[in-house]
Amino acid sequence: MRRGELATKIISAVVVIAVVAYMAVYISSALSNPLETAEAVLATAEDTVPISGWFARDESRVSAAISGSAVSLRGEGEKVGAGESLIVSYTSSTARSTREQIDALDRRIAELEAATSDASVGDINRLDSELQSSVYSLAYSAATGSYGDAAESATELKTLMLRRDYASGRYGEEAFEGVLDDLKNERTLLESKIGGAEIAVTASTSGYFSTVADGYEEVLDMDSVLDMTPEDIHALDGRASAVEQNCCGKLVRSFGWRFVSAMKEEDAAQLNAGSWVTMRFTGDYVGEVRVRVYRIGEVRNGECAVVFSCATDIAPLIGLRHESAELVLREHEGVRVPKTAVRVDEEGNSGVFIVVAAQAQFVKMDIATAYETENYYIVAYDPASTSSIRPGDEIVVRSKNLFDGKVLK
């Protein structure tokens, strides 16, 4: 073998060994010093307190005028004026059946009158387009289970079909008027048959009607809750008065309501009278309402009677009495940082390393003002700042021998 060939083989072998050694060291270093990162994301956390309590309103029960069958004329939570009818009672099932027939006639008469009252009823093309749209709307509502919308679409479709028939000349104007006259005459005859078998109950004052009465209408009102102690609140269970057999609901006379709860002393200490908090209901009603801390009573046996007030959202809450909820005292918004990523530099500053252009860069963070959970901090985020942690940053969670400028990837 020539000397030159031997030298070439030796050099090649040395290069291969060097490359293998480098790769072995690199792999060993990577395995012994794995890099783990996490993306910085915006997060929200809440300080909450669980409570339970009782609704109080200015309300009174509504009873049917006579014994027998009764029908509510108002929806749950519907606003009514003084003198407006709330319920109607019947002396017999026959009278009630007659009223249902009259209601059906009223709907039919309204449909026919609507079919002939449209100024553009003669536009056949427009009516065909509306009919097609109404059919699609009805089919979609039925397929998606929106039965309330489906009922409205069906009513609209019937009226459009009548208009189409009227506009096409299928039924002449005289035919429509004849049908209307017959329906109105039938209605008049049925109305005369009811006579004194139907008696309506009207609202004594303006307010909101509810079909639910529980016997607490005379026990809890807007003023009585202000003098309650924790013992009084605990004793409310079972104090409802008897509800009359012919009771058909209640009339709430004020728009506002109050909520009284016996809270632990340490929980009540986080509240300030006059401040606003979010009350998130978790029982029969699921939803959030902003309420004001109206009164915080004295501490008795480690508890305080706390009264909250609200002047909105009465309709969905009008039938509720005893409910569970949680108070959202504070919300914390910022960038979520894993606790395992937090480090302290040589000057004693807390912060994290982020990956910038494949290198480590130390970013300071104020631990004292950050919201702390078991596994992470939520750090305040200022979009205008370029020296703080920002959403999207790649935070180094685990790595060894970190320093500014260290090549990580």
Q: Specify the long-range contacts of residues 14-20, CB closer than 8 Å, at least 24 apart.
A: none
Strand partners, 181: none
Q: Packing angle between helix 124-143 and helix 147-168, nearest 10 degrees? A: 160
Note whether 281 and 224 are same-domain residues. Answer: yes
Q: Residue 234 maps to which CATH number? A: 2.40.30.170
> Which residues in the chain land under pLDDT 50?
25-32, 119-121
Contact assessment for residue 337 and residue 352, using Cβ atoms and an 8 Å cutoff: yes
pLDDT at 16: 56
Note whether 280 and 376 are same-domain residues. Answer: no
Express each pLDDT in 218-274 by its tens digit. Answer: 899 999 999 999 999 999 998 888 888 888 899 999 888 999 999 999 999 999 999
Tokens representing 17 are 């060994």
Of the candidates 331, 354, 388, which is a domain's last residue? Answer: 331
Burial class of residue 191 in the structure, from the number of CB atoms within 10 Å of its CB (0-12 exposed, 13-18 middle, 19+ buried): middle
**Domain of 104?**
88-200
Express each pLDDT in 139-152 by its tens digit. Answer: 888 888 887 777 77
Q: Strand pairing of 69-72 and 207-210?
A: unpaired
CA 312 to chain CA centroid, Å, is 14
Q: Tell the residue number behind the tokens 């009084």, with chain if given.
A: 232
Of the candidates 312, 331, 350, which is a domain's last residue? Answer: 331
Note whether 311 and 341 are same-domain residues. Answer: no
Note whether 284 and 343 are same-domain residues. Answer: no
Q: Tell the residue number behind the tokens 């209901």, with chain if given.
A: 281
Note whether 54 and 3 are same-domain residues. Answer: no
pLDDT at 132: 78
Residues in the chain: 409
Note whether 115 and 142 are same-domain residues. Answer: yes
Cα gap 387→125, rounded to integer Å: 65
Q: Strand pairing of 322-338 and 41-56?
A: antiparallel
How many domains would you assign to the chain?
4
Cα gap 256→317, rounded to integer Å: 11
Cα gap 338→396, rounded to integer Å: 9
Distant-in-sequence, close-in-space partners of 342: CB < 8 Å, separation ≥ 6: 350, 351, 352, 365, 367, 377
For the whole prediction, is pTM greater than 0.85? no
DSSP 407: B
Note whether 351 and 394 are same-domain residues. Answer: yes
Q: Residue 380 maps to which CATH number? A: 2.40.420.20
**Run of H or E including 258:** strand 257-264
The dihedrals phi and psi of 116, each to the nearest 5 degrees, come to: -105, -5
